[in-house]
Chains A and B, each alone.
Chain A
């Protein structure tokens, strides 16, 4: 797998390798973070989420890491498969009264899996 820099729009990985997708968030008051996968022609699909009182959460083949010190979020996909090819968005939800309803999306990273 290959780690990408912040805001880098594309990532290509070999099938079977691990992928790491990074995301910077801006609001230090955000209390909840979500990763979404969006395939062509479809709406975003929930992958995994994490609350601000955690620094790691694991799902099936995916792990999300949260570093609140530097406001950084990452999604790790183990043994990447062709079906993982999609655009991945991180999203944050604020904790304040006016932002509690809002899920705000980051710029997205396009993941291409090479067979």
Chain B
């Protein structure tokens, strides 16, 4: 298995809702990442997890809450989002922290906040 799987593919949520994005990989990768991508823009790094521990938070607002329950799974919990948070949320994984060779992206979750 050489894939990063993200669910759901599409999500529409209200500003008072709580929802979660899920990312899964079974490549034995120990580093996982969340990126946010707005239309016609490059992906922007949000969080880095290394061996299930948060190693980088790029000053992301607290309405985004990451979680890494095990080495294969990465979640992003969403609460009280704003319409400007609408974007494509991408998950990636790599063999280990700093080993960006073989950095693999999922297809993303298209999030719309209404």
Contacts and interface: CB of A to CB of B under 8 A. Distances in A.
Interface residues of A, number: 21
Interface in B59-75: none
Given A100-B98, A106-B42, 17 more contacts: A9-B40, A34-B100, A42-B107, A42-B108, A43-B90, A43-B105, A43-B108, A45-B105, A46-B104, A100-B97, A101-B48, A101-B98, A102-B45, A102-B48, A105-B42, A105-B43, A108-B41
Contacts of A107: 41-42
Contacts of A46: 102-104
Contact of B101 (A9, A44, A49, A104): A49
Interface of A: 9, 32, 34, 41-46, 49, 89, 93, 100-108
Given A49-B101, A101-B31, A44 B43 contact: yes
Assign chain B's interface to a size class. 20 to 34
A23 to B, nearest CB: 11
B100 A32 contact: yes
For the complex of A and B, list the 6 residue pairs with the smallest distance between their C-beta atoms, beginning with the closest: A43-B105, A105-B42, A100-B98, A101-B48, A43-B107, A44-B105
B12 interface: no
B50 interface: yes
Contact of B103 (A34, A100, A104, A106): A34
Interface in B71-114: 90, 92, 97-98, 100-108
B50 to A, nearest CB: 7
B90 A101 contact: no
A105 B45 CA distance: 9
A105 B46 CA distance: 13
A61 to B, nearest CB: 20
